[in-house]
Structure 1
Amino acid sequence: MPDGPQRRSAQAAPPQGSMAFRLLGSFDARVNGQELRLRGRKTQALLAALAMAGQAGEARSRLASLLWSESDDDRARATLRQSLHELRGVLAELGGAEGFSAERDTLRLHPVETDLRAVQEALDQGRIHPLLQQRTALAQSLLEGFEDIDPAIRTWLLGLRRGLTRQWSRALEALMLRAEAPVAERLDAAQALLRLDPTHEAACREVMRASHIAGDTAGALRAYETLWDALALELDMEPAAQTQALVAEIKAGAPAAPAPAAPREKNPVRLAILVPPFMALGVSPERAHLVDGFRHELIACLTRFREWFVVDGPTLPQIASEMVRVGTQMSLEVRAEEAGGQLGLVLLLRDEASRVMVWSDRFTLTLEDWFETRRKIVSHIAVSLLGSIATARLAETHTVPDVSLAAHDKWLRGQAIIRLFRPEDWQRAETLFNEAISEAPSYSPPYSSLVQMDNAVHIAHPGMRRSRARELQAIQRAEQAVALDPVDSRAHLCLGWALAMAKRYDRATTHMNEAIKLNPLDPWTLVAGALFNAYSGEHDRAAELAAESLTLSAAPNAAHWVYQSAIAYLRGDDALAAEAAGRTLSAALPSRAWHAAALFNLGREEEAREIARGFLAGARMQWYGQEEPTDEAIGSWLLHLFPIAKERDWSRLRQGITGAGIPSAGARHHGW
C-alpha cells in the first residue's frame, strides 16, 4: 500500500475509485492511494463493517444497533445518519463517492481490497499468506483497538476473531496434513498454525518432529516448552499424552518420522459424542454414497448444538486424554439397511463408561425425496439426543445433593427447574446457576440461564413488575454469555430477548438472526425467533419460522404451543391461536389470557369468559405483587409482560382480553 509521494511516483496510479483497507492490526483505509481520515472511531468501525460485508452490504438497523447499542433505536439511527454524512463527504473529496451506495434499508461499499480477504483467498488456493507467517495471533488482531467503543462491537469482534481462528486453523491443518506435500511446506503450515494458535498440539508435534529429524533437538524441546507454557496459561492444562510421549522419545534420542495426528479441538467441552462409520448391510455400491452423505449431514447438524462435542472417527482415544474434563462420553452407532428401494436406519446412543443404552430409534429414508427427508430426520435425531442426554444426566444425579454436582450438572438441573415455571423453585435454580459460574467462570450456559430468569421472572411471578435495573442486569449477563461463547445460539437468543425487553428492538433483531443462523435445525430456537418476529410486527417471517419449527418438532411441548398461540394471535389467526392454546394447560398462567382473547374474537364469548375467570382466579392465588390483586391490577400486570413493539399488535391483545372479561383500564403500550 503506497504511503508517500515518492513511492507513489514509482508505481502506476491506482484505478479511479479504488479502495484498500487494512483490517488486521491498526485500521487504515486508502482511497485512490490517499489516506481516508475520519474523525470518529465509530465511523471508522462503520467503514470497516461495510468493507467486510462485501457486495451483500449491511442493514442500517444492524449497523445502528452494533455501533450505538447503548442508545435507544431512534437515537442510534439518528447518529448513524450523522456518521454516514461525514463518510459521504470524505469519500467525495478523495474521488471514492461512486463506491458507496446507501439504499433505504441497506448500505454497501465496493469495490474494496482488504488484507483480511487476501489472507482468506490465499488459504482457499492452498497458499499461506505472508501475514500468517510473520504475525502472531493474526486473527485476534482484527480491528485492533476497537473493542472498547461499544459493548456490541466487543461481542461482535470476539465472535469474528474466534471464527477466523477456527476457519484459518482448519485450512492450515489441511495443508500441514497433506501427505503429498514436501516436508518444508508442511513445516511452514505447522509453524503458521502455531503462530495463529500457540496451543495447537498437532502443529507443535509436527514442528518437534521436523526439528528432531533435522538434528535440532534443542529446537524441538523449545517448541514443547512454548506449548507447555501456552496451555498452562490459556487452558490450565498440560500437553496431551501423545505430545508428552513424543518429547520423551526426543530426549531419549529415538529416531522420529513425520506422523501427523488428527488436530485437537481447542475449546474444552464437557460431553463428547463419538459418531463412528456407519455399518452398511446390503446397501448397493451405487447407493453407498447416500449413506456417507447422510452421516456427513448428521455430524454437521449435531455440531451446531453446544451441549456436546462431536468426534468424527472410529474411537475416542486422543480426545479423551486431551479433554480430561469431559464428564460424559457417548457413542452414536448407526446401522443402514437397504430394502425395496428404501434405506432403513437404526440408531443407538450408548454411554461409553457404563455401556448403558440411553436412546434408540429407527428411521426410513425414501430415495425419491432424499434431501428433504434427510433434513427432517437429522433435526429430529439431534433434538431427541438433546432430550435423552439431559434425561440421562438428570437420572444419574437425581439422588445426589445439589452441592455435590459438577458445574455442567448444576446447570442442567437448574434448567430442568426453570422449565417447570414454578415460582417456589425459582430461588433454587438461581443458586444452582450461580454455583456453576463460581466453579466454571468461563462456562457460558449458566450465564444464559440467569438471563432467561431475568427475562421471565415477571411472567413466572404474577403481580411482579419488570424493572429497569433487571433489564440492564439481563443485558450485561447476556453479553457476558456471548463473549464467552460467541457461537452459542442460546447466548444470542437470550441477549436478543434481554434487548427486546429493554425496547432495543433493532439490536435485538441482530442477535435473534444470529441465533437462528447458528442453529437453524433447533425447533426451540426457531419458535423463539418466530415469537420475537411476531412481537416486532414481522408477521410473515414469524409464520414462516413457526411453521418450520413445527416441521422439525417430533413432539412439541406446552411451552412450544404457548409461543405458537401468541404468534398466530398477533397476526390475526384466532382459530389457530385458540387451537394451539388448547394444548397448553400445563403451561404458564398468561397463556390462558391469550386463549380467552382468541376465543372472544371468534365469537365464543362464554368459553372466553370462563377461561378468563380461571386466569384471574389463578393469578390471585399466586400473586406476588405489592398491590392488591384486583381484576384491574391483574389485567394491567398481564399487558406489561410482553415486549410487543407495535402498538397496533398490543392493542389487539388488549381488546381481546378486555372482551373476555379481563379489565385493562389504565394500561398503555410500552407502559413500563
Structure 2
Amino acid sequence: MAKRHVERRLAAIMATDVVGYSRLMEADETRTVRSVRHLQSSILGPKVAARGGRIVKLMGDGSLVVFNSVVDAVDCAISLQSRLETRRKNQRVDFPLILRIGINLADVVIEGEDLLGDGVNIAARLEAAAEPGGVCISDLVHRQLNTGRRSDFLDGGEISLKNIAHPLHVWHWRDAPAIRPSAGSLARPTSIAILPFEYLGGSPDQAILSDGITEDVISGLARFRSLTVIDARSSFRFRDKHSDLDEIGRKLGVTYLVVGSLRRAGERIRIVAQLIEAASGMHLWSERYDREVQDMFAIQDEVTQMIVSTLVGQIENADVRQALRKPTTSLVAYEFYLLGLAHIRSYGEDDNQHALTMFSAAIERDPHFGLAHAHLALAKIALNGYANSPSDVLDEALALARKAVALDEGEGGCQRLLALIHVNRREFELAERHYRRAYQINPNDANTLVQMGGLLARRGKLDEAMEWIDEGFRLNPFPPPWYSAALGNALYLVGRYEDAAAALEELPSPGPFTYARLVACYAQVGDTIATERARAQLLELCRNFSTDDFIRRGLLLERPEQLDLFRQGLLKAGLPP
C-alpha cells in the first residue's frame, strides 16, 4: 500500500466557528445550512484564496485554514470579519452569521488533506476565546506582525485554554464590532407577535387552517396604529420550536406573545388562545372556543377583539369592526387561498403555476373573495416574467387587481398588490398612490413598507425610500429573500455599492438580472476578482447578454440618470453594450 505524503512545516493556522450555530439550527435548519454554505463558498473561500491560504477542512459550522504567513492570516481574518459586519448592518436582522476566529503560529503536520499537531488545537481554543465578531491571536502571532498591524490588537493577558497545559498570552482585535443586541432588547410596550397556532390531531393536511387563523389574527391586529405587530413570516420561524417565551420575545423584539392551538374533529373546531407577557411568562388572558366549522371566522373575530381589548383598552367601535372583517365566508375557498399563498412564497420551478391554480380555485368557490383575485393577478405576472409579461397578461392582471380592490376596498393587501401590478406596468404614479393607501389601511404590513421603499428608490426619492425599507426590516426581523432585492437596488442607487452587493448576495436562487446587478456592484467597487466571477456566472446563464437589453427589460427605473448608473457599472465590467 502506498504511503500518504506527510509534510511538516511552520504555518499560520486560522480556525473559524459560527456563533450560536446550534440555536440557529433549532430556529431554522434549512436557512442556517444555506447561509453557512453561502458563507463558505462566496465569502470565506474567496477571502482565503486572495491571500494565498488554503482551506484544509470544513466542519459544518467551522473551518480550518492554513497560511504561509501570519500577516496573510491576520489580514484575511480582519477582512472576513469586516465584511460580515457590513452584511449585518445592511440586513437589519440578527440572522447574518457571526464568526469567532482564532489564529496561531506553529509547526504542523500536513497529511493528505488533514492538518495535525498541538498548534492546530491551540488555534481552535483561541477561536473559542474570541469575542463574537472578533479575532483572537497568540502572542507568537502578534510578535510577527508589523508595528501598524500590532496596534490593531489589545493585550488580553494570559488565559487558560481548555485541554492546553499552560496559560497562553493572547491578543484581541480592537475593532471587533460590538455585536448589537437582537431586536428583542428593543421591545416596545405595545409590540406583539402571534406565534403559529398549533394544530392538534386530525388529518395533517388540515393543519393549514391553523396557519390561516394565525395570519388572520395578525392581519386584524396590524390595522391598529397603536400596535406594533410582527410580520407572519418572522413569527412562523418559531413553529415547533422549544425556545423559552422570553427568548422568543427578545428575538422578535416584542413585549407580548399570543400562543394558541386548534383541534378539528369532524364538523367541530376547538381553538384555544392565550396572551402572554413574554419576559415574565405571565398569562394575561386565555380563552377557549368550541364551534361548528362554519363558525370559524366568528372565532377569529372574537380572538382578535379580546387581544386588542386587553392590550390597548377602549377602541372605537368603528376601528374594531374594521379589524374584524372576514376574508371569505367559504371555508373551501379559504383553504385553496392558503395553499396558493404557500406556493407563491416558494421558489420551486412549478410554484407559480401551482399558485395560479389554487387562487383560481378559490375564486371559483367564492367569486367575491378580494384577496384571492389580488393574488391571482400576482401569480399571472410571476408566471410570465413580471414586467416582461405580454401586454395582454399585464392587462388581465390589472383588471383582476382592480376587481380585488372593488370587492374589498378596506383590505390593505389588495391595495398593495394593485400597486405592485402598476409598478410592473411602469405606472409609477399610480403605484405610489395605492401603496400609500395600503399603508393608511394597514401601517404594520412590512411588505407594503419595503415595496413602497423600493418604488420610491425607483422614482429617485432615495432618502425617503431608505426610511420605508428600514421600517419594513424592523417590523419583519426575519424577512423573506425578496426584501434583500429591494434593499440591494436602493443601496446601489445611493452609491453604496459594496453594501448593495452584500444584500443581493442573500438571494437564494439568483437569475441573470440579479447577477447583472452584482456585476455592476463589484465593478463600481473595483473588486476585479468578484466582478469576473459574477460576470462568468451571468454569461453562463445568459450567453447573449446585452447591457442595453438589460437596461430596457431588467430595470424598472423612472429617471434616466439611474439607468445610466447601471449602464456605467455593466460596461465597466466589460459586458457587451
Q: TM-score, normalised by structure 1?
A: 0.39
Q: Which has the higher strand share?
A: 2
Larger relative contact order (CA 8 Å, sep ≥ 6): 2
Structure whose alpha-carbon radius of gyration is higher: 1
